[in-house]
Amino acid sequence: MASTIVISIRDLSFTYPDGTCGLRKVSLVVYAGENVAIVGPNGAGKSTLLLHLNGVLRGDNTVEICGIPVRDGNLKEIRKKVGLVFQDPDDQLFSLTVFEDVGFGPMNMGYSEAEVKERVAKALELVGMGGYENRSPHHLSIGEKKRVAIATVLALTPELLVLDEPTSNLDPRSKWSLVALLKRLPVTKIIATHDLDLVRALCHRVVVLDRGEVVADGATEAILSDSALLKAHGLAPED
Amino acid sequence: MKHSFIDQYCNLNSFVHRLDPRTKLVASLGYILAVLLTPAGKWWFFAFYLCMILGLLAFTKLPMLYVLKRSLVVIPFVLLVAIFVPFFKEGEVAGSYNMWLWKVSLTYSGLFVLANVMVKAWLCIICLTLLSSTTKLAELLKGLRQLGVPQVMVLILSFMYRYIFVLVDEAMRMQQAYQSRDIGGNLLRRLKTFGNMIGALFIRSYERGERIYAAMVSRGFDGQVQTLRPLILRRADMYFSIAYGILLVSPFIVWLWLQWQAR
């Protein structure tokens, strides 16, 4: 299919202020409708890469989202297009009510009151948390928190959903219901994870990242059946 | 881990619950002022104010025992501050004791001051318990904001309440991890470990703060906090305020009237 390019990154490198190398010449192109998993051992640079997608971090080369370069002037535009869900929902949900949290993005975008309410209701409905508007995030279970965290970015109707370890700390039931939820959402997704079950169930393409470099990029079946590759990058047990 | 939350009864339904948070905030402030301004020893003033707050409590359907327990929490702190007054206040001696090398004596006037302080503190705390158990914290903060409290202060309160339990959980986990490896050792070593734990907790909070900020920025936060749904004062708030205001000043008026009569 003749798809549009959602993410386009060429030779992106990033070094943290303390000198640690985060990313080394990463190139990545993602098309609309793709579900891409980013896997790799701890410290491989997965989260660093994700933070580049909406300009929280900026490397030496520009990232383009839907053809728009990520730079100071158009961050608001970028952040409307890229919904970034953090690993710990307690970081994502900082308000005293679910409504305020889900409405936070739309309010920042300057939507009218009626539209904010509509967006909040719709986003919560999408993740199966309709009617939770007036609950406090700290009273929710971790599975519920994860869903609300996803709703907080869906409220901006992003074109790209970026998830950092969406299934961490979830029991199997919550995990599979989250996978089912993610499958239903018709947006392009980038998922950083160690959870190969999740990758198999959801993503058709896998990018392997190790020490800040892209070491493999291909179809899920091909990569997950390449045991030599998985072993080399600490994703499968060494025998 | 489960925690009891300060506003656990705020979902009950009563006319006090339905009042505008601003009305309740101002009413509480007025109550505290009135109690504090009451001259020492005017016990019937205090009795009146106690009846007043108990009357309101009766409307709220809050469990009395809960309110009592909550209100007693603060007593140790008040005692800590005021306990020495009876020993240092000059006056008629109520009793003296020999403690090792010291001879300490209690005075009646000192005990009188202590009793007044305790009663005042207790009444104020009942009032605040009433306020916090009938108003959601989110609403309360919105009320504060609309009463003109700076946004930064309101945000700090909001974050504090949101994250205090996350922090407590983190501290408890660290404590458990420490205890499961605790093999004794002297006090100095324990203190050192404790210091390290506090340091680690601080760094974790700091890092969490950075992640929260990144999450906010990711959703278009630009330093301005937008709010929806401004509060609107209703007629009930006005009726309540008038009745409440009259009740609040009535002991003072009765007192002045009695004074005038006596002349």
pLDDT in tens, A7-54: 999 889 999 888 888 899 999 999 999 999 999 988 888 999 999 998
Neighboring chain A residues of B163 at a CB cutoff of 8 Å: 90, 94
Q: What's this model's pTM, rounded to 2 decimal places?
A: 0.80
**Structural domain that includes position A71:** 5-232
Neighboring chain A residues of B17 at a CB cutoff of 8 Å: none
pLDDT at B231: 75
* Residue at A175 is within a domain: yes
Q: What is the DSSP letter of A182?
A: H
Give start and end residues of each alpha helix (H) in chain A. 46-53, 75-81, 89-92, 98-108, 113-126, 142-154, 172-184, 196-202, 220-224, 227-232
Q: Nearest by CB to B218, from A56, A109, A139: name it.
A: A56
* Residue at A165 is within a domain: yes
Quick check: A213 pLDDT over 60? yes
* Residue at A238 is within a domain: no
pLDDT at A39: 93
A138/B229 Cβ within 8 A: no
Count of domains for chain A: 1
Q: Nearest by CB to B219, from A90, A138, A156: name it.
A: A156
- Please identify which residue in the block is written with the tokens 């948390």: A129
Tell me, what CATH number does A58's domain have?
Answer: 3.40.50.300
A96/B162 Cβ within 8 A: yes
Residue-wise pLDDT for A115-146, tens only, equals: 999 999 999 999 999 999 988 888 899 999 99
* A45 against B8, higher pLDDT: A45
Which among A88, A94, A145 is the top mutation candidate for probing chain B, defined by the most B β-carbons within 10 Å of its own β-carbon?
A: A94
B211/A86 Cβ within 8 A: yes
- Report which residue type is found at A149: A
pLDDT at A182: 93
Q: Nearest by CB to B220, from A76, A86, A91: name it.
A: A76
* Residues B119, B124, B125, B126, Cα dihedral to 10°: 90
Neighboring chain B residues of A153 at a CB cutoff of 8 Å: 218-219
pLDDT band at B229 (very low <50, low <70, confident <90, very high): low
Q: Nearest by CB to A103, from B212, B216, B228: name it.
A: B228
* Residue at A151 is within a domain: yes
* Residue at A237 is within a domain: no
A152/B141 Cβ within 8 A: no
* Residue at A210 is within a domain: yes
CB neighbours of A225 closer than 8 A, spacing ≥ 6? none
A109/B220 Cβ within 8 A: yes
pLDDT at A87: 92
Residue-wise pLDDT for B66-96, tens only, equals: 888 888 888 888 888 888 877 777 777 777 7
